[in-house]
Structure 1
Amino acid sequence: MEFLVEIAVALPPDMPADQRAALLARERDRGLALRAEGTLTRIWRLPGRLANVGIWSAPDAEALHEALTSLPLMPYATVSVTVLARHPLEDAAAR
């Protein structure tokens, strides 16, 4: 299954800079691992804020939930998930 996932992050303004940097580094590493395993298939930054939108692939909603909750930034994130279904035009374009 494919999912459209939007993640917006709100870190505490008083978070120490070294803690913030370490957290963002762990998030990047986890994101790279999710890309490598094929769970996070595409991702775009939303300019002007600490947010992104991406296409995620998982066998079901539970597997997606596990992947999302593995993100180090999850305690600071607001996540919106939309299940995607194949559109008939996709099949027509392949012909």
Structure 2
Amino acid sequence: MLFMVQMQVNIPASIDKDTADALKKNEKEMSQKLQREGKWRDLWRVVGQYANVSIFNVSGNEELHQILSNLPLFPFMTISVTPLTQHPSAIAQID
């Protein structure tokens, strides 16, 4: 199943820089692992914000929930999830 996931990150200023840097490093490693596995299909930065729009290709709601809730920055995210299905006029086929 495909999902569009919008993530807004808000790391509190009270978190020390070393901790924030470690969280960001771990988040990057995890996101790249999931991309290589094909689960995190697309990752797009929202210009001017600490936010992204991503497309996930997972088995369903439960797998997506597990992935998102295990992200290192999850405690500092506001997340919006939209399930997707192919549009009948789309030329490209979903893999």
List 4+ stretches of structure 1 deviating above 3 A.
none
State which structure, 1 or 2, has the greater radius of gyration over its C-alpha atoms: 1
1:68 counterpart residue number = 68
C-alpha distance in structure 2 between counterparts of 1:62 and 1:70, whole Å: 12
* Identity, % of aligned positions: 38
Give the C-alpha shift of residue 65 in structure 1.
0.5
Aligned residue identity for 1:55: I
1:30 counterpart residue number = 30
Aligned residue identity for 1:30: M
- Which residues of structure 1 form unaligned runs of 5+? none
> What RMSD over aligned residues (CA atoms) do the two structures have, in Å?
0.9
Aligned residue identity for 2:56: W
2:7 counterpart residue number = 7
TM-score by length of 2: 0.92
TM-score by length of 1: 0.92
C-alpha distance in structure 2 between counterparts of 1:69 and 1:44, whole Å: 19
List per-residue Cα deviations over 1:20-41 (Å, max 9, x = no partner).
Answer: 1111000000101110111100
Give the C-alpha shift of residue 9 in structure 1.
0.7
C-alpha distance in structure 1 between counterparts of 2:5 and 2:16, whole Å: 28
Aligned residue identity for 1:4: M
Aligned residue identity for 1:89: S
C-alpha distance in structure 2 between counterparts of 1:28 and 1:42, whole Å: 14
- Which residues of structure 2 form unaligned runs of 5+? none
Instruction: Provide the secondary structure at the position in 1 that maps to 2:89.
Output: helix
